[in-house]
Structure 1
């Protein structure tokens, strides 16, 4: 039976007022006692120097076994809350932090570079209609992928559970090498290829390899939010460079007045406008980067889906030893949660960068990497790309027709020669951000064009409409709904959305 407070001392009333319980599924007696004593030390109910009862009287007073109390005392002693000695066990002297309301709380601030990163606007479900950058997930050949995974699991077993090579599994690097040679006409050596956790890690790795905080970086404006985030996260001075129908527009004064250390561009299919960087501008960019000691990040995020003519040549192979980092991803060609991308290092940088990469990265996702290597070398990847090219070309055409016939808001469509999205420019009265917010409440996920500018700019007013994961049957009702919302963004949400498997 529990003793009264006189047996243990009045300072232990908090243990007697609410007895320890043996409730089924609840914390053990040992854990309950440990939490109560620890909390009493931290909040000052048991001040420094207070003497604790011996294990036997405390066990008798609480109606628990002496072993329970002994184990609790051992834990508290190990953690430094109490100090046992021959003269008894006492509460240790602790430096207790002041309560937050006394004005001594640490300032809740992030690092300057982290504070500069803008919150992503309107992140919606991949299944919502018009979500950009999402491939046709329902069309992915899961059975073939499962066979590749099973093959790796059977052959590799537990031997693949440890860390892998930091630059990625050799089999996948070789498969990427073969794919780039065939699909992009690229010439590079295996040691130039680094497997990354998506394109975002590849972008961040470029920043870490060749820039120092405060260096100047150029980024397309409007442009890829991931590139903007990587540059800002590297604490760089980020300069927005305008984009026109021929891609990144750089003047001679730009080079003289604010030369960069790094230039991020999407030359084959500018994101999000769809412009193609012309050959003359590509060569001019490479030449000036050599002259000023700058590097280029070529983000080739969806070049596999060229809808007319032959695939465009990549900048990386335009001239020997070009100062170009080439970034690719499987998130657009396969599925986003795979989180596998790759980086092709510039040839002049390989010897110096390789040991740094080995220290910065830790090889992982070995089963997925090896399964992907088999998926590519077996021909499944090429066949899937061919099917998706046909599908996306059909969806692109259908969306253009639906826009012309059913979207009665004045607009101009840009892009569409590649990829999985169209950009629709809108008049100022149809402000894109309120419209996109309203669309999200109705199960639609277009992205506001203005939010792709480094500083949101009303001059770039429009919507980025993804069609990769949106079935053609959703185009007309989705566009009609967008048109109604453009006139009244405050319309209450409808009961049924447009989400669903394409």
Structure 2
């Protein structure tokens, strides 16, 4: 017997003496044997060069068929753990295992990208069901039966062909339905070939970055503003420049165009997120004119302007000026439900030819049944009726939340926004911490978001809470606001929350 064989004989005894167990959680005897030998090799009990028992002897010892042992040896050989030799089957040399035996116990510190280190953890984890969470629609009010009918019809009509890859830009039926809806509801000018279906608005933002920017370009974002846009820009290796918003939306200093000339500008003009400001028409026209003069593109994120609560809907910026440099982004996460994961991008005509190759190489056209179902949902009028019901519901819920804040939130505060959407923002005194209050609220099943977390460079005016009312019943607002008021007062006193 060789020195290696003598060294491993206790391990071989362990392998033979430990019985295999039949029906162990459905794991076959063959798989058990494979895992046992593989584990013994990886942890060093079977060192490199040691000879394994013959398949016949091992089968007899373990009380299993020789075919099972042979199959295990063949699989281990294919994986590179063992190899046949004139003296029998032996364990191969494994560098990683030998490194571990030399004393390398702790894994190395693997590097990550610079962009990954720049992304702050701005979102406090919260389930959709928590009260006051912004961005969540009234899930229980969605017409599931009507949606199921559209989905069943899409599956029957498309059949097995719907299981394959679709058009990278998305199903033509859905692009046409979106085009027609946007023309009437939002004043957007486009043709079906300008519409790209994406996996939510976030993919649309990332697609914009890939389409029109290069690493190191300046990208302007609203401050405070949507975190997803900042993340998309950081992941695109862009230099993110925060631009302050006021009561009239994005407020751009004249010198900014020369000092930080942008390649891409992100804005939510119809309902600024999260302050609720509306970008005035004079600022819209000025923004478009300056973007054209400086060769910049504008992303118009129209995430929830379908829910306008006072007056007529505010038209999209995209349709103000012919041939404007506006990439229009929309999503169905707010108007329908988040897990649908369908959004869209309306590209300017000037981008069509140049974008064609990129779209076909990077997109694959999935969710085909859902896209076809959504097309019918829109064309049949179900979408419009659902929007009407939700507008009325959200108007009632906002009124109830405002009333509760007026009566029960006695700490000095200012409410901003409210003309559209599913959230209100309250500004709080600087002697309390919106982050601490938001964290404490989790203990009471509330999920308001701290306003300061929406800013790259928070200022005193960014201290506040963003309160979502879309998925919270009107009957809950009074007790919720009372508890929130107690948390704010306790934080101002420095009490233990």
1:84-483 equivalences in 2 (<5 Å): 84-96=84-96, 98-99=99-100, 102=104, 105-483=107-485
Cα offsets for 1:63-99 (capped at 9, x unmatched):
3221121111111111111112454222222222533
Deviations 1:30-65 (A, max 9, x none): 112211211222223222222222211222233322
Between the aligned partners of 1:9 and 1:277, the Cα distance in structure 2 is 79
Match of 1:499 in 2: none
Distance 2:304 2:440 in 1: 29
Contact 1:122 1:440 in 2 (8 A): no
Cα deviation, residue 390, structure 1? 1.5
- SS state of the match for residue 376, structure 1? helix
Structure 2 CA distance for aligned equivalents of residues 135 and 15 of structure 1: 58
Equivalents in 1 of 2:321, 2:258: separation in Å? Answer: 24
Shift of 1:14: 2.3
Alpha-carbon distance in structure 2 between the residues aligned to 1:10 and 1:135? 63
Aligned to 1:500: none
CA contact (8 A) 2:423 2:468 kept: yes
For residue 492 of structure 1, report the CA deviation from its aligned partner. Answer: 9.2
Contact residue 437 and residue 487 of structure 2 kept, 8 A? yes
Structure 1 match to 2:71: 71
CA contact (8 A) 1:99 1:105 kept: no
SS of structure 1 residue aligned to 2:291: helix
Q: How many pairs align? A: 488
- SS for the counterpart of 1:243 is strand
Give the Cα separation in 2 of the matches to 1:102 and 1:365: 46
TM-score w.r.t. structure 1 length?
0.93
Are residues 1:57 and 2:57 paired? yes
Query: Helix, strand or coil: the match of 1:326?
Result: strand
Structure 2 Cα separation of the partners of residues 441 and 424 of structure 1: 20
Mapped partners of 1:95, 1:211: distance in 2: 44
What is the DSSP-based 3-state SS (H/G/I as helix, E as strand, rest coil) of the residue aligned with 2:220? strand
CA contact (8 A) 1:204 1:230 kept: yes
User: Using a 3 Å threshold, how does the CA distance of structure 1 residues 415 and 40 change in structure 2: closer, same or farther?
Assistant: same
Structure 2: how far apart are the matches of 1:425 and 1:173?
A: 40
Go from structure 1 to structure 2 and tell me whether the alpha carbon gap of 1:148 and 1:444 turns closer, same or farther (over 3 Å shift): same
Q: Are residues 373 and 492 of structure 1, via their aligned partners in 2, closer, same or farther at CA, if it must alter by over 3 Å?
A: farther
Distance in 1 of aligned mates of 2:208 and 2:175: 18
Aligned to 2:47, what secondary structure does the other structure show? coil
Secondary structure of 1:261 counterpart: strand
Q: Do the aligned partners of 1:330 and 1:336 also contact (CA within 8 Å) in 2?
A: yes
- Quote the Cα distance in structure 1 between the aligned partners of 2:105 and 2:20: 36
Q: Which residue of 1 aligns with 2:38?
A: 38
> Which residue number corresponds to residue 498 of structure 1?
none
Change (3 A) 1:321 1:79: same
Change in CA separation of 1:24 and 1:272 when aligned onto 2, cut-off 3 Å: closer
**Aligned match of 2:80:** 80
Separation in 1 of the partners of 2:450 and 2:421? 18
Asked whether the 8 Å contact 1:192–1:345 carries over to 2, the reply is yes
Aligned-residue offset at 1:399: 1.9
Q: What is the CA distance between 1:103 and its match in structure 2?
A: 7.1
Q: Is the Cα–Cα contact under 8 Å of residues 451 and 457 in structure 1 kept in the other structure?
A: no
Deviations 1:458-489 (A, max 9, x none): 43111111111111111111111100111225
Q: Cα distance, 1:10 vs. partner?
A: 4.2
Answer whether contact 2:202 2:228 (CA < 8 A) is retained.
Answer: yes
Aligned partners of 2:52 and 2:89 also within 8 Å: yes
**After the TM superposition, which of the residue ranges 11-20 and 237-246 deviates more from structure 2?**
11-20
Deviates more, 1:158-167 or 1:62-71: 62-71
Contact 2:170 / 2:365 at 8 angstroms: preserved in 1? yes
Helix, strand or coil at the partner of 2:415? strand
Structure 1: any 5+ residue segments left out of the alignment?
494-502
Larger displacement relative to structure 2 (397-406 or 257-266): 397-406
